Structure 1
Amino acid sequence: MMKRLLTGAFLAAAMLGQAQEHNTSAKYIYPSDTLVQQKLAHWQDIKFGLLMHWGTYSEWGIVESWSICPEDEGWTQRRGPYSQTYNGYVKAYENLQTTFNPVQFNPQKWSAAAKEAGMKYVIFTTKHHDGFCMFDTKETDYKVTSSKSPFSSNPKSNIAKEVFNAFRNDGFMIGAYFSKPDWHSPEYWWPYFPPKDRNVNYDPRKYPEKWNAFKKYTYNQIKELMSEYGKMDILWLDGGWVRPYSSIDQSVDWQKAITYNQDIDMASIASMARTYQPGLLIVDRTVEGEYENYVTPEQTVPKKAMLTPWESCLTMGNSWSYVPNDHYKSSNQLIHLLARIISRGGNFLLNIGPSPQGDWSDTAYSRLKDIGAWMKNNSEAVYNTIPLEPYEDGNVVYLQSRDKKNIYVYVLADEKNEDVTLPAQIDLKNISLSKSAKVSILGNKSAKAKLQTTAAGVSITVPAALQKAPAGKYAVVFKIQL
């Protein structure tokens, strides 16, 4: 009853979730551990991953966690019958634990769809900023496996473990999203004081015993994930305001608002985590240094190649979390995002928010199926590739194989038309050919394109038959063997 009553009212607030911005770090420290180096190199080659934001907030169809944050931002606005008082709203929000019952939860279905789409790694939200745990932690009762939650009696109640096992069995690299701040923990938002913003609501220097208790709580939860949930490849830490005060970048607006030193001793956490998971990639988002093994620009694609390992995390819909009738990007847009991101040397981490019933929308499955059909012909131009300048020129995107023996030229469809219409000639920039170089079209063995060197450079001559009708959907890829 409450869910039906609130869903429509909260829709506008949910759409604002994408406004939360994360900045990339200005400095990067390449990992010295050879096992981490090897895993990082492998991760950079697999290019395409899945992110899932999921928690009790899906019941109201609202932005994840942020509506309980007492900041006056677009993405923190409260809506619905409980919104008039902060304390009443938080009580109702936390009471969602007693109704969260995703009986359609089937992680094998998700894994199969993601695998068909060509995804190679998964990052799952074990705990977001609201503190609700999607795993069977021993540190709090605010978790999906608590007897307070109706889903606790389900054989799949330890949701994170079920997700990790399903995707691991399908060959995925496994990543655990974990929020460093915890707005439910009395050691972070101490009930003695009201919370003022996203940050800890007391001075850790003045109350060191309270902060040390929070550090222990965080350490123990991460230890559980690293020691009890099988082989882990990535620890993806969010909530960059929990950081040493000395690491704050005063040129970044949201970091200027951090008033306290919130050092949780990442050196100790990393050492412990890698004891259980040798070679573990650690992504302490926006906190530059040795514990940010790759950087994570959010909802954006850099214009040029970045020198550091990186991934763009973007939503398939408008929101990170589930929103009823969300507007999803088209298959055409998603494949173009993939092409542009990898052409700059990054990975594409695509987010889908599961529903409160425990499934994705039909549209999400449809998009992944379309991507998978395209990948069957073109995956060699995705995996194990590196950037090639000029990266992008109009509707042409450039890549090369890691061994530099092949160049891949993507011709993208028009943004409003998924069919690719090829011109008679495609002029290339910054390409040098050997005498033995030859060109082909991925997925079309019969097409006989030709290479031509002119005074102006190199061009691809397109067969007349391919000019008269659509040559493919979303993006047609020419392979030039050097």
Structure 2
Amino acid sequence: MKRIATLCLLLLALNGYSQTNAELDPKILTSKAVMNQFMDLRFGMFIHWGPVTLRGTEIGWSRHHQVPATDYDTLYKVFNPINFNADEWVKTASDAGMKYLTITAKHHDGFCLWPSAYTDYNIMATPFKKDVVGLLAKACKKYHIKFCIYYSVLDWYQENYPLDNSTDPKLADKRKKPDMEKYVVYMKNQLKELVKNYDPYMLWFDGPWEAPWTKAMGLDMYTYLKTLKKDLIINNRLGKSFSGIDADGTAKFLGDYDTPEQRIGSLNMQTPWETCMTICEQWSWKPNDKMKSLQTCIQTLAKVAGGNGNLLFNVGPRSDGAIEPAQVARLKDMGSWLKQYGTAIYNTHGGPYNPNDTFATTRSGKKIYLHVFKPVTTLTIPEMPGVKINKAYIMKGATVALMQTNGQITLTLPAVLPDPNDTVIVLETDKSTIDIAPIKNEEKK
């Protein structure tokens, strides 16, 4: 029995699953094949949206703070986003080159963007009265975008959830008769609605850090969800440990992939991961929010792919339901770049070099895609053990001179790079690059 258990743990480790996942029945874990297909997508759209956009403050977290709860909790009564158009949102994602979309169906504030049968605090109680989740699911099918759903574990509105707002411990006693067991049933009922009615490709959980939620609850919820849909992908935030904002590549998490937040994860060829990051500064809409430059957006995507991760890039539509035109334009420019260089992003593996501020690399078959971020005329990188470069050239452009001596590869680049945001140099090799171990490198000009 001990030998069999050890073998099971070894197999789980080889598949990239964490120690926490080892406590689950291996038969229910999302397969490596499904996860590989997810990681091939590389680029997705995150959408944080709800009645709080009427105040322009952060979703969930501004409740009791910038916005009094009595105001926050009644915003839905006047929430009427007449300019919402699911097709336009999804087309924006498609034009950006994004392959999946994740909507905050229920954030920490508890408001639901679908007509849930288990609470009146949902979109049908607004003047708008349209199933946002359903309309987005339909539009995603039209544009061949994978549809995904965000759902918060915590809920500062629902009466059975024990806490009112984790950022203010004085509010912890506000609930008169909280019942976590009933709340878990509430969660399961709502999640069954979402899975059965909208058939999401992936569920993106958040908020497991509060004390009422336990590791046992996370294990039970993952198991339950797999009875609803076998190949459903589930992120790492059902458990109590995940990298999030602070830790990096934590060895223990419950779910199918790690989720570094507002930062780029480190190169990791074993554990799937996805950076979630905002295109501006706030997750939900904020008037005059500062937007990232096109260069930063493109280089972030390249660095994430170079680390073998996906980028879930967030937009916050306005209270009228429209995405800011400037954000739409920025995303479209990213899509234009991907139309030229997408081969170096989609369906690739990260590495073998660790990304830095000068370059990142992705790889596929007998090709290394070198993403150059800075206007350097000479770029020197360590040689790849046992691999020879036969040819170097700018993607869809001229040949690049190279030398391979003394354990180094030196490339001579044009004085003016074709793309100031990210010029892709293709290195054709004499053998497959997939099995090359990660190579530490220093930035050299």
Give the TM-score taking structure 1 as reference length: 0.76
Deviations 1:85-109 (A, max 9, x none): xxxx212111111110111111111
Q: 1:412 and 1:183, CA in 2 relative to 1: closer, same or farther beyond 3 A? A: same
Q: Output one character per residue of 1:364-404: Cα deviation in whole Å (capped at 9) or x when no partner.
A: 11111111111111111111222324323551222222x3x
Asked whether 1:60 is paired with 2:28, we answer no
For 2:371, give the aligned amino acid. Y
For the pair 1:409 / 2:366, whether they are aligned, the reply is: no
Q: Measured at CA, do residues 452 and 240 of structure 1 come closer, stay the same or move farther in structure 2, by a change above 3 Å?
A: same
Residue 324 of structure 1 deviates from its aligned partner by 0.7
Report the residue type matching 1:270 in the other structure: Y
Q: In structure 1, what is the Cα distance between the partners aligned to 2:209 and 2:428?
A: 48
Tell me the equivalent position of 1:341: 304
- Residue 40 of structure 1 aligns with an amino acid whose one-letter code is M
Q: Are the aligned partners of 2:59 and 2:107 in contact in 1 as well (CA < 8 Å)?
A: yes
In structure 2, give the amino acid aligned to 1:29. N
How far 1:441 sits from its partner (Å)?
1.3
Counterpart check, 1:453 vs 2:404: yes
Amino acid aligned to 1:47: R
The residue that corresponds to 1:314 in the other structure is 277
Partner of 2:179: 210
**Does the 8 Å CA contact 1:64/1:321 hold for their aligned counterparts?**
yes
2:35 matched residue in structure 1: 40
Distance 2:345 2:234 in 1: 24
Question: What residue in structure 1 maps to residue 394 of structure 2?
Answer: 441
Pairwise CA distance, 1:223:
0.6
Deviation at 1:337, TM superposition (A): 0.8
Residues 1:29 and 2:21 aligned together: yes
Letter in 2 for 1:371: M
CA contact (8 A) 1:432 1:458 kept: no
Structure 1 counterpart of 2:189, one-letter code: N
- Take 2:379 and 2:356, find their aligned partners in 1: how far apart are those partners? 11
- Structure 2: distance between partners of 1:291 and 1:459: 43
Name the structure 1 match of 2:249. none
Q: Identify which of 184, 188, 195 aligns with 2:157.
A: 184
Distance 1:116 1:339 in 2: 18
CA-based RMSD of the aligned residues comes to 2.7
Q: Match for 1:137 among 104, 107, 116?
A: 116
1:143-292 alignment runs, 5 A limit: 143-146=122-125, 149-152=126-129, 157-189=130-162, 196=169, 210-229=179-198, 231-242=199-210, 258=211, 260=212, 262=214, 265-285=217-237, 287-288=240-241, 291-292=254-255
Residue by residue over 1:342-383, the C-alpha shift from the partner in whole angstroms, topping out at 9 and shown as x without a partner, is 111111110101110001111111111111111111111111
Q: 1:450 Cα shift?
A: 2.8
1:294-305 map, 5 Å = 294-305=257-268
User: C-alpha displacement at 1:309, in angstroms?
Assistant: 1.1
Q: Distance in 1 between matches of 2:111 and 2:76?
A: 8
Letter in 1 for 2:370: V
Q: Tell me the alpha carbon deviations over residues 320-358 of structure 1, each in whole angstroms, 9 at most, x when there is no partner.
A: 000011100011001111111111111111010111000
* Equivalent-residue separation in structure 2 for 1:217 and 1:352 (angstroms): 29
Give the CA deviation at 1:116. Answer: 1.8
Residue 426, structure 1, aligned to residue 379, structure 2: yes
Q: Give the Cα–Cα distance (whole angstroms) in 1 for the partners of residues 283 and 387 of structure 2.
A: 47
Gaps of 5+ in 2: 1-16, 242-251, 430-445
Q: Deviations over 1:60-94 (max 9, x none)?
A: 0001111225xxxxxxx325xxxxxxxxx212111
Rounded Cα–Cα distance in structure 2 between residues aligned with 1:200 and 1:373: 52
Change (3 A) 1:478 1:200: farther
Residues 1:199 and 1:346: Cα distance change in structure 2 (over 3 Å): farther
**Any idea what SS the aligned residue of 1:63 has?**
coil
Q: Deviations over 1:297-321 (max 9, x none)?
A: 1111234436421111110001000
Instruction: Give me the whole-angstrom Cα distance separating, in 2, the residues matched to 1:210 and 1:435.
Output: 63
Native 8 Å contact 2:382 2:407 kept in 1: no
**Unmatched segments (≥5 aa) in structure 1:** 1-24, 70-76, 80-88, 243-257, 414-420
* 1:199–1:221 Cα change, 3 Å: farther
